[in-house]
Amino acid sequence: MAEARHSYSGQALTLLGDKDRFVIPPEFRKIVRASSDDKRILCLAKHDRWDCLVGFGLSRQEELEAQLDREEDAALRLGRDYDRELRSNLLFGFERIPFDESGRFTMHDYLRKDGGIEDMLFFRGAGQSFTVWNPAILDRQGSEWNPVKSSCAGLVKEAEAKSQKKGQKKGARK
């Protein structure tokens, strides 16, 4: 029987909440949990090329081993050096972060620093993983990112409008 493949798509924005926690959006949380044998474990690491984080479920570990094999085989075919130990260190340097039933989790300070994370997270599905951005950093990316930046900006605008409405309601009650 073929093993189920897990694929992340779409986008979502979450804000820093109480107790300094973020929330994994439901559509991503469902896939993370399914790809982690129903465990509530989020894997997060600094992206190797972009100023953001990359996230996935535990099942990606097996895919990473297969990726190492492919990379090593390709290097051998092309007569290039391949440092499997170094590459393994880079690929497997992710943190396993527990989250509660509602998707709330606390991000380690070093991950927040690595991703330039402040008070918002923009999640963007990317197939076998997803990226997690500070919207301000995403906005500084090149024009090839315009569709992603546009999606993020729309979600930020919605969140700001909701926050403003909440503030108005609180002010009206006083």
**Chain segment 145-161, per-residue pLDDT in tens:** 999 999 999 999 999 99
Superfamily of chain region 11-135: Transcriptional regulator MraZ domain (3.40.1550.20)
**Chain segment 7-50, per-residue pLDDT in tens:** 899 999 999 999 999 999 999 999 999 999 899 999 999 998 99
Report pTM.
0.83
pLDDT at 104: 97
Place of tokens 């973020």: 22
Q: Is 8 helix (H, G, I), strand (E, B) or coil?
A: strand
